[in-house]
Every structure is written in C-alpha cells, then in structure tokens.
Amino acid sequence: MGIDLEPHRRHHRGADGEELAHGYSRETDAHVHAEESALAKLPADDPRLVGATIYSTLEPCSERRSRPFTCTQLILRSPVRRVVIAWREPSLLVADCVGVEVLGEAGVEVLELPDLADAARTVNAHLL
C-alpha cells in the first residue's frame, strides 16, 4: 500500500487496508485542508476509524487562522491513532509546525517516510 502523491491528498484507511475516505486541500472551499476534508466524509463515531491510518504528503498543520481547529486537533478528536507522512510542513508555510510532535505526545503513532519527501516536494512545488 503506497501513499498517493497527488498534491495535498489525504487518505484514511481502515485496519484491513480499505480506503475509508480521501480528501485534498481546497476540495470544498478555499480554506479546507485535506485532512479536514477527508475526516468530514465520515461520521465521527465510525467504528472503522479505530485502527485506521491517515496517509498524507504533508505533516498535519498545527497552526491555523481560517478554521477553529487545526488538522492536528481534528486528528486528535478522531479515533485515528496512526499517521504516515512523506514530508514535514515547510517553514515557509508555518514557521514552526509541530503537528508530528503534538500527535506523538498524545499517543498517535507518526511514521515519516523521508524517502518519499522529494516526490512530495515535487507535486507540491506550487507551494514553494
């Protein structure tokens, strides 16, 4: 099972590998983030989220002005306890993104795949 490297795309997979939802930035409006979009497609109490994994090209945001909750907070409010990312949030977007650290401190397993960082940067070149 790989990470979809489309720009800002997030996948949520259940414990059995089934894709539960996907989302991408600006999918529904100019301010929606990918994690937010994908999580909104599932009921918060969906039992398949227990044991699910979020796959993401970028680290979940830990700072946000356009919404009441960051993507890190949205993940923590869900039963998802595993996040896989390819690339840490670049400092040009957020000076000190701490999504990985906050998730880890809360008991969420975060796996960074640095071998995929160059591919993630390539598809997100419009951000740089």
Residues classed as catalytic = 35
The H helix count followed by the E strand count for the chain is: 4, 5
Q: Which of 105, 89, 101, 94 is nearest to 65 (CA)?
A: 94
User: Listing from the earlier edge strand, what are the strands of the sheet with 82-87?
Assistant: 19-24, 9-13, 53-58, 82-87, 109-112
